[in-house]
Structure 1
Amino acid sequence: MVWPEVDQVASNHRYELVLSGDKLRKYYEEKQALDETIWTLKQLNFLEISQCPSIEYLSGDIGKLTHLSTLTLTSNKLKEIPIEVKFLTDLRHLNLSNNQIQRLNDDLFEKLDHLETLNLSQNLLEQLPQFSPQNQKLAVVNLSHNQLESLPDVPVELENLSSMDLSGNRFKDFPETLCQIHSLKILLIESNQLTEIPCQLSQLHKLKELRFKSNPLKDNRLKKLMEQDKIKPVLEYLAKQWTEQHKSSASTTAKPAQSKQQQQKAKQNVEIQDKIEILHFDQVGDLKGRQITLLPRVISVRPHILCCILRNVDLATPGNLKKFLNLQNELHDDICQKRTLATIGTHDLSLISGDLVYDARNPDDIGLVPLGKGPKLVSARDFYDQLCRDAEHERKLKKRNQLSGLHKYLTLLEDQNEFPCLSDQDRYVISLPPLTNAERSKLSPTSDSIFVEITSGHSMDICRRVMDAFLRQVLENQLGKKANEEEKTFRQVLTLQQTRVVDDKGQLKTTFPSRTDLDWNEVSQGKIFIERLTNEK
């Protein structure tokens, strides 16, 4: 007998399948196996099988799901992972956390060219397979709470690796390969058996978070600094040690040479530079940022939101508005994985009143005028139900299961009792992620200041990566204002203003762009100049 959820995905040709919790446990215990129909759903790009302690093994037929981009197998009792997982070459996000995996196949990562996040935390791993130079997109790795004593060398090609969590393992010696990952921003290696922390870490200039508490360090001074939970004094202390170890003339002469090389490179690129101006939240004058209040109800529905304001955007030039909307659609299909990972909303700032509230409510209680659906105010429930009816009509009319437009995103809100929504100060709903914006804040050729919101049910890291990709695309499509005569060395200038997300008690959750955001020097190769303006300007 085919499980109802599996049958629904198969008959409607859906791209996501989530099997989790009590229902999954009940199904599994009846036949002590997963429904084999799962492995025939070759259209799937998102599969979650989680929270079923009875599951210890998976069929190798999982290798047939070659379109998977997200595979989540968390909180089961898996002891091993089928070797066929290595054939899932479209995988971007692999979560195998909270199982009992003791070993992974040596060539597991070899063909996973698109892998971006890897979560192997809370397993029984004693060693890790070698990463491949082909894993160039890998950004986040979580190996915490295993039994690792060593780490394989990380290939230099992994230039996007920004976060590594090795907490709760058995490292006695610090993995030297970490000192070579110059893209690292977050390094967590707490609760191990380390006695020393190498001063070379001070040379990882992108490092913003470093934690190594609960290790038997010999250096008591360093241990005390770490207990203060402030990275700056820790890195300064390590940098001082580094300097003392490298006082040779070779090191002092190398720096000026490198500086000249960088200056020469900047001169070569100056003619094709783009500029980003970052305005402080409290910029003097009427250019004030907006604040978004995150209410508790939305945390269990779609908890992550990141926003910013784009000022002086050029949508008036013929074709630019279409470019802007097209790049948004392309990002939805690509990095947002058809909105399953994140959704981008863009609004005319002049049509939004005051600060905003991000909440989750009963869809019957949410009223909005959906974008492009006429002037009538409808409830989110009626809007969703009408889309479902339209989708069914389209399916019958075209005699195919593949849907288009908003219809292909309907499953993202299926069976949800509350829908996320973003409202302005006058309580007008301007966004119903991940489905639609409101007609009220619609962009037009006269829009020159744009409010951008990225929402996700997965992580804030995904929001940041989507925002980065979005801003890069805006620059690549030359949608910033053209530089004036005083700035003729720049092709265009894009002005960003900070926004803040706070909780219902007013405590700051997120600011974007912060000082650690938009760190694009290596990626842009000097072609993007970022100027952070003070609020006195």
Structure 2
Amino acid sequence: MADMWPEVATAKEENRRELNLHGPEISERIEKRGFDKHVFDLVGLNYLDVRKTCMTELSVSVSKLVNLNTLILHNNRLTTLPESVGDLKKLKLLDVSSNKIESFPNLDGLTELQSINASGNQLSAFPGVSTLTNLHILNLSHNELQALPDGIGDDKLEYLAQILADNNAITQVPDDLANLVRLHTLDLSFNKITELPSQLSECQKLKEFNVKGNKFKDRKLTKLVEQSHGKSVLNFLGVQLQKEQASEMGKKGGKDKKKKKKKGGSKDEVEELAKDIIDVLHFPSETGIIVQVKPAVLSVRPYFVCCIVRKLNFKKSLNMFKRFITLQTRLHDTICEKRQTATIATHDLKLVKPELVYDARSPQAIRVVPLFKSSEVTAAKLVSDLRKEADEVRKEKKRNTFSGIHKYLDLLKDKAHYPCLLDGDGHVISFPPITNSDKTKISQDTTDILVEVTSSSSLDVCKKVADELLREMLVMGVGTPVEEAAEAAADGGEGDADAIQKLVVEQVRVIDHEGGLKVVYPSRTDLPLDIYEVTRE
């Protein structure tokens, strides 16, 4: 066609997948005749780059480019984007930086989106991002935002690693950013923030943290921000968090753990302090979980205990779920001795299909979907990829040692077979000591979890680790509150539903390949500490 731009005609004739339209000549065409509408007939395009032009609006017809995975509209004169951008279901990268955009369309349907760059615009608000579960990078720098987008701390955003929101008018930082398990860069410099949530200290992978140019109420924090890098600020917030948690525990100890009068005694005679409760449910013969241990695993990683913890509430506070994940990491580093003696795994019970089998198989025979991944790989490839990644990280950081999951790889060195836990469909749900399966991953909505502890040292080690995990969960307050109204009323008080915590733990049986009982946990000899009360049904 005569009015078709030559670049567009060539792309159509050669069935090209990419189209680049840059610079003064393109800008002059747009100014004289408008943007070539034939671009939107190129339905095979997966890459469209229009930059440094005078384009002021994007046609709603952009939704016709159904195969588009990259849309770059950098440095134009756009003031808005059409809602039809939300129809580009395959879009992975959206760059609309350095325009004059004042409002942004809803992006809820763009679940493949990995990178958004909307920096250098005139945005006063940005739509919610909680549904963008593949988002890695969010750049909202140099706008007029008064708040970060709704849902930015949603734990479903498990890939979100970079948040750049400097040079805005943001006044508050959501404390649930601690839910972002991969967040390593957070730039909130030159905003209007006066306080930082202490929970930010629980962002374990946060390395680049910039909050300079804000006016904080706390003078010590202000001084740290001005003179130090982000690590010192996070350490300061960590101390604040510990003080807050200690204060909570102190209030609970003084307010909730009431002393109870002995019947018939004087006012000065009291019983011991009321204790939290671990309520052990005996193995239910009809519906109980059984784990069969195969002979092959006995020479690899032979010791295994398992239990179910029910009626959990990870939504009791904004950071409760994050604290539970942090707890597992801490136990791996302490009582588990860097996973050298034991490994903990937790699964969402409703996603686990009985009967379970604990076995050892060749690395090529084990296929698993690792945590935070979407594709199934063999254990051999997973370990190989992790080793390569570890070497690259070590060289890049100029270190002599591994960090993160890489430091556990030597636990499998020279092993001909790897341990694995399989569900009733034969799917691998755990590959200790490396990873769980993403298929049974727990979330904030999880109420019942299956806990497994494996070891190459001893059964006693497994039990001690499981005991410690349950104790820490009880202290954390993730269990069920016990009503004490009757006792409080007897003392002339009002009662407090959160006074005593109860953790409901159901036994799981582990049997050998012939059906003989190996272990049931927790048994009567387990959970020996006297800081809580154990009841058994």
Normalised by the length of structure 1, the TM-score is 0.51
Aligned residue number for residue 212 of structure 1: 211
Question: How does 1:120-199 map onto structure 2 within 5 Å?
Answer: 120-133=118-131, 135-154=132-151, 155-199=154-198
Contact 2:210 2:229 in 1 (8 A): no
User: In structure 2, which of residues 378, 385, 403 is the aligned counterpart of residue 476 of structure 1?
Assistant: 378
CA distance in 1, matches of 2:44, 2:150: 35
Contact 1:188 1:210 in 2 (8 A): yes
User: In structure 2, which of residues 20, 26, 45 is the aligned counterpart of residue 18 of structure 1?
Assistant: 20
Question: How does 1:372-383 map onto structure 2 within 5 Å?
Answer: none
Contact 1:125 1:147 in 2 (8 A): yes
1:243 is aligned with what amino acid? Answer: Q
Contact 2:127 2:150 in 1 (8 A): no
CA distance in 2, matches of 1:177, 1:137: 18
The SS at the match of 2:380 is: coil
2:68 is aligned with what amino acid? Answer: L
- CA deviation vs aligned residue, 1:511-536 (integer Å, no higher than 9, x gap): 99985797999xx98747579xxxxx
Question: How does 1:84-99 map onto structure 2 within 5 Å?
Answer: 84-99=84-99
Aligned residue number for residue 43 of structure 2: 42
Seen in structure 2, the aligned counterparts of structure 1 residues 124 and 267 have a Cα distance that, compared at 3 Å, is: closer
CA distance in 2, matches of 1:266, 1:67: 43
Normalised by the length of structure 2, the TM-score is 0.51
Seen in structure 2, the aligned counterparts of structure 1 residues 528 and 27 have a Cα distance that, compared at 3 Å, is: farther
Quote how far apart the aligned CAs of 1:243 are.
0.6
CA distance in 1, matches of 2:178, 2:165: 14
CA distance in 2, matches of 1:515, 1:169: 35
Question: How does 1:461-500 map onto structure 2 within 5 Å?
Answer: 476=378, 478-479=380-381, 494=387, 498-499=391-392
Contact 2:19 2:47 in 1 (8 A): yes
The SS at the match of 1:190 is: coil
User: In structure 2, which of residues 98, 113, 117 is the aligned counterpart of residue 115 of structure 1?
Assistant: 113
Aligned residue number for residue 365 of structure 1: none
Seen in structure 2, the aligned counterparts of structure 1 residues 477 and 19 have a Cα distance that, compared at 3 Å, is: farther
Quote how far apart the aligned CAs of 1:229 are.
4.8
Quote how far apart the aligned CAs of 1:500 are.
8.5
Aligned residue number for residue 8 of structure 2: 6
Quote how far apart the aligned CAs of 1:126 are.
0.8
Contact 1:222 1:234 in 2 (8 A): yes
Aligned residue number for residue 465 of structure 2: none
1:50 is aligned with what amino acid? Answer: R
Sequence identity (%): 27
Aligned residue number for residue 242 of structure 1: 241
The SS at the match of 1:118 is: strand
**Aligned-residue CA RMSD (Å):** 4.4
Seen in structure 2, the aligned counterparts of structure 1 residues 9 and 181 have a Cα distance that, compared at 3 Å, is: same
1:476 is aligned with what amino acid? Answer: T
Seen in structure 2, the aligned counterparts of structure 1 residues 15 and 194 have a Cα distance that, compared at 3 Å, is: same
Contact 1:47 1:72 in 2 (8 A): yes
CA distance in 2, matches of 1:195, 1:72: 35
2:24 is aligned with what amino acid? Answer: D
- CA deviation vs aligned residue, 1:360-404 (integer Å, no higher than 9, x gap): xxxxxxxxxxxxxxxxxxxxxxxxxxxxxxxxxxxxxxxxxxxxx
Contact 1:274 1:493 in 2 (8 A): no
Seen in structure 2, the aligned counterparts of structure 1 residues 84 and 240 have a Cα distance that, compared at 3 Å, is: same
CA distance in 1, matches of 2:104, 2:407: 34
Seen in structure 2, the aligned counterparts of structure 1 residues 494 and 39 have a Cα distance that, compared at 3 Å, is: same
Seen in structure 2, the aligned counterparts of structure 1 residues 180 and 266 have a Cα distance that, compared at 3 Å, is: closer
Question: How does 1:359-370 map onto structure 2 within 5 Å?
Answer: none
Structure 1 unaligned blocks of 5 or more: 276-313, 318-467, 483-491, 503-507, 532-537
Contact 1:273 1:526 in 2 (8 A): no
- CA deviation vs aligned residue, 1:8-39 (integer Å, no higher than 9, x gap): 111100100011122322322331x1111101
Contact 1:208 1:516 in 2 (8 A): no
CA distance in 2, matches of 1:131, 1:23: 37
Quote how far apart the aligned CAs of 1:187 are.
0.9
The SS at the match of 2:344 is: helix
Structure 2 unaligned blocks of 5 or more: 254-275, 277-319, 337-341, 348-356, 365-371, 410-427, 436-537
Aligned residue number for residue 515 of structure 2: none
User: In structure 2, which of residues 327, 339, 344 is the aligned counterpart of residue 266 of structure 1?
Assistant: 344
Quote how far apart the aligned CAs of 1:273 are.
9.6
1:82 aligned to 2:82?
yes
The SS at the match of 2:224 is: helix
Aligned residue number for residue 72 of structure 1: 72
CA distance in 1, matches of 2:104, 2:52: 21
Quote how far apart the aligned CAs of 1:90 are.
0.5
1:156 is aligned with what amino acid? Answer: D
The SS at the match of 2:231 is: helix
The SS at the match of 1:126 is: coil
Question: How does 1:321-332 map onto structure 2 within 5 Å?
Answer: none
Seen in structure 2, the aligned counterparts of structure 1 residues 48 and 59 have a Cα distance that, compared at 3 Å, is: same
- CA deviation vs aligned residue, 1:243-279 (integer Å, no higher than 9, x gap): 111114489999899549977873689978999xxxx
Contact 1:499 1:513 in 2 (8 A): no
2:391 is aligned with what amino acid? Answer: Q
CA distance in 1, matches of 2:138, 2:178: 16
2:145 is aligned with what amino acid? Answer: L
